[in-house]
Amino acid sequence: MILKLLTAVIAVGVIGITYFYVDAQKDGACPKSWLLKMIGASGYLAVGIFCAVMTGGFSEFDKAMLLALIFSWLGDLFLHMWFHKVWTALGFLCFLTSHICFIRAYITGINGLSVKAPEAPFFSVGEIIAVVIFVALFIVCMIRSKMNLKGLMKLPIIIYGAVIMTMLCKASILGIEAVKYGISPLCLICAIVGAVCFVLSDFSISFLMFDKRHKKNFKLKLFNMYTYFAAEILLASLMYFI
């Protein structure tokens, strides 16, 4: 009971610190904003660890989820550094790896829900269609919004978009399958809402990074970070249910 309460307090604290973080970096990244962001990142990582502990052990699903959260934490660490652009690239790679780990975790969770059911294929036809449609819409939005993407950046962004849309599909399937096997509907909410928040966060940060008109948009920055921290907390909470 104490651990549940502590986890809830940390989750609320992460959301609560978001405004102060965004306010601290409204004129650009600085030591204060970096510290506040890493406090928030450590909070969602703690939520994941506590959820895994409350289930009584670290399953393969838990390990993959924790690895995803660790790479997200590293992404936050590097992406917010202002010393050199190489840190931004490293942060991008960490978040890409994080999403791949999330996908791996969801597949492990889906296959582990019933030992009698055969392992699902990595991609169903429906998932392929959904990912292609989502990525196509993402590309159209980038073109129509006139984002300033240089040639070398277009391919990595498209790859990242395909990976995060795959993550959304797998998270949704995990949540739906979990409910089918009698797990609390809260699992479905955490999976789908968490994944959707992640997509919205990544979509909004693309405007902040590549569209000069929005670089100092305070409300957009708040939206970006609230959806991001909410996503990490909700997805970390899946370890309590699965």
Tell me the one-letter amino acid at 203. F
Query: Any alpha helices (H) in 56-184, and if so which ranges?
Result: 60-79, 85-112, 125-144, 151-180
**What pTM did the predictor assign?**
0.88
Mean pLDDT of 135-158: 66
The predicted pLDDT at position 113 comes to: 79
CA-nearest of 174, 227, 222 to 200 is 227
pLDDT, tens digit (0-9, with 9 covering 90-100), for 87-127: 888 988 999 999 999 999 999 998 887 654 555 556 666 66
Instruction: With cut-offs at 50, 70 and 90, classify the pLDDT of residue 56.
Output: confident
Please give the tally of structural domains in the chain.
1
Alpha carbon of 100 to those of 72, 94, 97, 170, 213: distances in Å? 11, 10, 5, 11, 31
pLDDT, tens digit (0-9, with 9 covering 90-100), for 174-231: 999 999 888 999 999 999 999 999 999 988 887 777 766 767 789 999 999 999 999 9
Domain that includes residue 97, residue range: 2-241
CB 7 within 8 A of CB 50: yes
